[in-house]
């Protein structure tokens, strides 16, 4: 048996897409288990760039079966568009299956996402505006519409009428907005239902059979551990389980079926949206990292907040994910004379290396830095660890030591081949 979860260790955009693409060449199943099209995963293969939002990155391996499982929320318009875009580029979608339990992001979810954010004023989360929070809220309230409802022509009209009455009341009476038209939505979603039917499957049973047959399964997380609804920096989080445990909650696969957890971290830190970020840089250095790393969101185009590597946060993430190893990406971006790593926080005059999840405490955390000499040269053409400049290797080893977790690979550019394997054994997730 050899199954692996790839998970983000920071606040998303750690280059999970790139690492998943690298590993999925050998996978037999690729599985998206959480989040929705708030995700934006970029993969560069040769001259081609692909941006994934709802579909697993591993679909680029034509032999892999791609699954979208129970923990995901799906915007059917985005899904259809992404499928069409892939087909136009010669990527067949024959092997995609979607769980009937997946909740649908309905038009009112997107509207309510915007209305709730506007209502919160200074307390805004800075969401992606894709309707994620309201959709998961309805799932927890047990009034969500699932794929099973959309593909059932008898259930859809009844369930839609019921939930739309409530949603229109909230939109018009609480927010003073315009109501949605029942007939229009019914027609549109009946159409989606027909188109979806061939993709719907019992993905939990498929995965049970796959694990029983010792198939190679790659679980790809969206977002990052610090955006997890339970273990992240609440309330500045997303609404799903973005840590490795989400791979079991969101699929129906039991935890004992997971063999490896590979955490993905940037060589520095970024965050999009609101919420505390202890190592955020507000000076020129922040701009240098943003420009070197092209740190603008794949989904919303927003400039990302940038800062030094935060080892307190990465160590916490390795812990809550149970990482077996870490891939450190965008190492090439730190092409500068001096580099800092945050090793501890000072909170109310006390030093700590424990990551506080209470937002008020995290907001007070002042980073304590260790300064290292940088390698100050371009490493994007290097393909082996021993050829990296000594100062670069020293940085990687110091990050490893502070995280308390082995580093399996580093990435020195966006392309598939700009990857350096450090420890093949840690990465041999599909060899046995
Ligand atoms: P994800 O959401 O974790 O999949 O990450 P994103 O795709 O949102 O953001 C990562 C960005 O960094 C993408 O534009 C990638 O193409 C790019 N990228 C990935 N690895 C590297 C790397 O090692 N160096 C550089 N310079 N860019 C990288
Ligand atoms: P990938 O998979 C970075 C952030 C948003 C916001 C918060 C809540 O590409 O790493 P939501 O729309 O989910 O309700 O927004 O979470 N966020 C992400 N940040 N990468 C992502 O995904 C994100 N998905 C959500 O910016 O702060
Ligand atoms: Mg992203």
The string of pLDDT tens digits covering residues 292-333 is: 999 998 778 889 999 999 999 999 999 999 999 999 999 999
**Predicted confidence band of residue 432 (pLDDT cuts 50, 70, 90):** low
93-107, 211-225, 286-300, 406-420: least confidently modelled range: 286-300
- Closest listed ligand to the CA of 332: 1
Calpha distance 399→202 (Å, rounded): 42
User: What's phi and psi for 138, nearest 5 deg?
Assistant: -65, -35
Report the percent of the chain where pLDDT is more than 70: 100
End-to-end CA distance of the chain: 7
**Residue 353 CB: number of other CB atoms within 10 A?**
14
Calpha distance 57→377 (Å, rounded): 31
Q: Residue 229's pLDDT is what?
A: 98
For ligand 1, residues with CB inside 6 Å are: 8, 12-18, 40-42, 44, 293, 298, 329-330, 332-333, 411-414, 418
Calpha distance 245→52 (Å, rounded): 22
Q: Residue 387's pLDDT is what?
A: 98
Most informative mutation of 6, 8, 16, 17 for ligand 1 (most atoms within 8 A of CB) = 17
Section 171-200 average pLDDT = 97
Q: Residue 93's pLDDT is what?
A: 78
Active-site entry in 21, 26, 41, 53: 41
How far does the centroid of ligand 2 lie from the alpha carbon of residue 228, in Å?
A: 10
Section 251-266 average pLDDT = 97
* Short-list 266, 317, 274, 275, CA closest to 295: 266
At 28-76, the pLDDT tens digits run: 999 999 999 999 999 999 999 999 999 999 999 999 999 999 999 999 9
How far does the centroid of ligand 1 lie from the alpha carbon of residue 217, in Å?
A: 23
pTM value is: 0.97
Burial 26-55 (b: 16+ CB within 10 A, else e): bbbbbbbbbbbbbbbbbbbeeeeebebbbb
The residues pairing with 407 across neighbouring beta strands, listed in sequence order, are 326
> Which of ligand 1's atoms lies nearest the C-alpha of 223?
2
Residue 53 is a catalytic residue: no
Calpha distance 266→396 (Å, rounded): 11
For ligand 2, residues with CB inside 6 Å are: 8, 11-13, 38-41, 125-128, 130, 132-133, 222-224, 227, 238-239, 272-273, 298
Q: Residue 298's pLDDT is what?
A: 73
Residue nearest to atom 12 of ligand 1 (CA): 15
Section 330-347 average pLDDT = 98
How far does the centroid of ligand 2 lie from the alpha carbon of residue 275, in Å?
A: 12
Calpha distance 385→73 (Å, rounded): 39
How far does the centroid of ligand 3 lie from the alpha carbon of residue 6, in Å?
A: 14
CB 278 within 8 A of CB 362: yes
Q: Residue 427's pLDDT is what?
A: 86
Residue 13 is a catalytic residue: yes
27-31, 228-232, 250-254, 299-303: least confidently modelled range: 299-303
Section 144-157 average pLDDT = 97
> Which of ligand 2's atoms lies nearest the C-alpha of 130?
12
> Which of ligand 2's atoms lies nearest the C-alpha of 12?
10
**Residue 298 CB: number of other CB atoms within 10 A?**
16
- Closest listed ligand to the CA of 378: 1
At 347-375, the pLDDT tens digits run: 999 999 999 989 999 999 999 999 999 99
**Predicted confidence band of residue 86 (pLDDT cuts 50, 70, 90):** very high
**Residue 181 CB: number of other CB atoms within 10 A?**
11
- Closest listed ligand to the CA of 290: 1
1 pLDDT above the threshold of 60: no
> Which of ligand 1's atoms lies nearest the C-alpha of 293?
26
Cis preceding-peptide flag for 235 (omega within 30 of 0): yes
* Short-list 266, 244, 220, CA closest to 322: 244
How far does the centroid of ligand 2 lie from the alpha carbon of residue 432, in Å?
A: 35
Calpha distance 156→113 (Å, rounded): 23
How far does the centroid of ligand 3 lie from the alpha carbon of residue 39, in Å?
A: 5
Active-site entry in 13, 113, 310, 332: 13
- Closest listed ligand to the CA of 331: 1
Calpha distance 371→160 (Å, rounded): 58
Question: Cα torsion at 314, 401, 418, 128 (round to 10°)?
Answer: 0
Burial 121-142 (b: 16+ CB within 10 A, else e): eeeebebbebbbbbbbebbeee
> Which of ligand 2's atoms lies nearest the C-alpha of 272?
26
Section 125-149 average pLDDT = 97
Q: Residue 94's pLDDT is what?
A: 84
């Amino acid at each position: 048996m050899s199954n692996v979860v790839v998970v983000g260790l920071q606040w998303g955009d750690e280059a999970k897409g790139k690492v998943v693409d690298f590993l999925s060449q050998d996978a037999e199943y690729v599985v998206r288990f959480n989040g929705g099209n708030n995700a934006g995963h970029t993969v560069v293969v040769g001259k081609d760039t692909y941006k994934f939002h709802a579909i697993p990155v591993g679909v680029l391996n034509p032999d892999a079966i791609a699954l979208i499982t129970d923990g995901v929320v799906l915007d059917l318009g985005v899904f259809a568009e992404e499928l069409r875009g892939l087909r136009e580029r010669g990527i067949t979608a024959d092997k995609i299956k979607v769980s009937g339990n997946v909740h649908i992001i309905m038009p009112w979810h997107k509207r309510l996402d915007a209305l709730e954010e506007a209502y919160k004023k200074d307390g805004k989360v800075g969401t992606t505006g894709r309707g994620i929070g309201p959709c998961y809220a309805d799932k927890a309230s047990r009034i969500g519409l699932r794929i099973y409802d959309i593909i059932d022509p008898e259930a859809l009209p009844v369930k839609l009428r019921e939930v739309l009455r409530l949603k229109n009341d909230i939109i018009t009476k609480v927010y003073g907005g315009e109501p949605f038209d029942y007939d229009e939505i019914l027609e549109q979603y009946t159409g989606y239902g027909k188109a979806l039917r061939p993709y719907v499957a019992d993905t939990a049973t498929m995965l049970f059979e796959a694990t029983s047959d010792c198939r190679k399964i790659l679980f790809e997380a969206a977002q990052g551990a610090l955006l997890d609804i339970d273990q992240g920096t609440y309330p500045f989080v997303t609404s799903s389980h973005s840590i490795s445990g989400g791979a079991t909650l969101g699929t129906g696969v039991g935890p004992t079926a997971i063999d490896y957890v590979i955490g993905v971290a940037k060589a520095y830190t970024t965050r999009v949206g609101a919420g505390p970020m202890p190592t955020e840089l507000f000076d020129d250095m922040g701009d240098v990292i943003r420009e070197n790393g092209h740190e603008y969101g794949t989904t919303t185009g927003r400039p990302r907040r940038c800062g030094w590597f935060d080892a307190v946060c990465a160590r916490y993430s390795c812990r809550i994910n149970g990482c077996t190893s870490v891939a450190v990406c965008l190492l090439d971006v730190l092409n500068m004379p001096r580099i800092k790593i945050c090793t501890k926080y000072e909170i109310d005059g006390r030093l700590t290396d424990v990551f506080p999840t209470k937002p008020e405490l995290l907001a007070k955390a002042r980073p304590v830095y260790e300064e290292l000499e940088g390698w100050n040269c371009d490493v994007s053409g290097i393909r082996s660890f021993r050829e990296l400049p000594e100062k670069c290797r020293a940085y990687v080893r110091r990050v490893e030591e502070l995280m308390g977790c082995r580093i399996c690979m580093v990435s020195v550019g966006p392309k598939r081949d700009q990857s350096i394997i450090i420890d093949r054994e840690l990465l041999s997730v599909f060899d046995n």
